[in-house]
Structure 1
Amino acid sequence: MRPPDESTRALRIACPNFSAEEVGALRSILGLLKPYLKQPWEVDAGMPDMRALPDVCLINLDQPGAPAVPPGGAPRVVGCSSRPRQHPQGTLHRPLRPPEILALLSEAGGRARGERRHAHVSSSLEWSYRLVAWPRDLGDWPKSWWRVMASVSAEPLPLLRIAERTELPSRYVELCVEQLRAAGLVERIPRVRDAATTHEPRERRRWSALAGRILQRFGLRK
């Protein structure tokens, strides 16, 4: 059996805090734009696959408690608002508008094609992330993301390992890491991918103890 062609595999859009009606509207927009897009796109409505991060993540900035999107946006993360001018440049209108979605997906599709070609050539490599500084405005960050910062404060880890340790969905881990990168708070380190990763109880105990001390310092641990 031939392996799947990466150039024809559907790209994914995550909408973690959109209503069911808005997700349905986005699907209708994708149907209208299908003849104009070089790749097929699909909306990720359920829990994300831990092995495959979304190609675009749309954030509803009008919802209370929505994570902030850094000025200029971060790769793969785009804010949407009924008042986009009150937010950083690059924020899309809400309700979503077909011309803006077409421009976004055309650019993101080209970027995803390049990333997939690179991943095919260097499949033995993966990026790990290490925290270099805690945010000065730590209290303004979602508290669940504090666990992400704690997990990479002592050693660099790839996104999948961070998600496993923190027990957070991979799309939220990626969003946190992207915002940390935009703020210059993490470094990205290329590592050779392990053929098989073992999770020993001693390692988990060590991580739990370390995370507990860090989170207690910032008042997060119950």
Structure 2
Amino acid sequence: MRPRPISEVASIREAHALLGLTGPAEGEALTAAFRAAIKAARPDQAGGDEVRFRKTIAAWRLLQQQAPAPLALTPPTSPPPAMPVVCITPRDALKGGKALVGVNGKALRVRVPKGLRSGEHLRLKRAAADGSDLHLPVLIRGAGGLTVLGDDVYMNWPITPRLIEDGGRIEIETHAGPRSAWLVAGQETLRLRLKDLGLPARGSRPQGHLFVTLAPSADAPSAAEDLLVRFTRVWTPDRLAA
């Protein structure tokens, strides 16, 4: 009697063909193909026979033994160091100034041109470790009662509830000096726009505006006190003496 060969299936390609597969399969896909093929190969079914039945089982076992190709592993790389951020105040963005930034373990004082916006980059010549230029992102943080959004500057200004009810002239101390505005009696929107007092134009960015939110406060100067302040500012002792 001739010995039975070790495997009923000669190759992986034959195993795929016996299970009705057109390519590699594993897991549930392989099990589903085997169940369909073994059902059709059963000797008690029309079209099935014992040899095909044995070969189908052998094909399934052969494909189960095939280990998936190992993935090409790359050694883990360290993430690049975080880019320093140049934090400036709204007044720096309005008028220019200087800011401290840490680069390569050193604290550098860099010049800030007026008109910078958050999200733009400041160029530091030859400041990188390899001697190349650095382009650091800029962030404007609120300070001194001012905040910046886009091209515009925002601030609050206290006024008396009586002035909100009666309306009248108010004087607001802004970063550009005192500015006067008129408030309509019973005005619902307590936010004023002072044109062209936002961030200065820079490149393609237009001149911004200053938005002043009027905050009712019992400690705010009355209309008469406000008038006295303006009178005192204009009529100095030198002018009175003249």
Question: Could you state the TM-score of these two structures normalised by the residue count of structure 1?
Answer: 0.21
Structure with greater proportional helix content: 1
Structure with greater proportional strand content: 2
Q: Which has the higher contact order (CA 8 A, sep 6+)?
A: 1
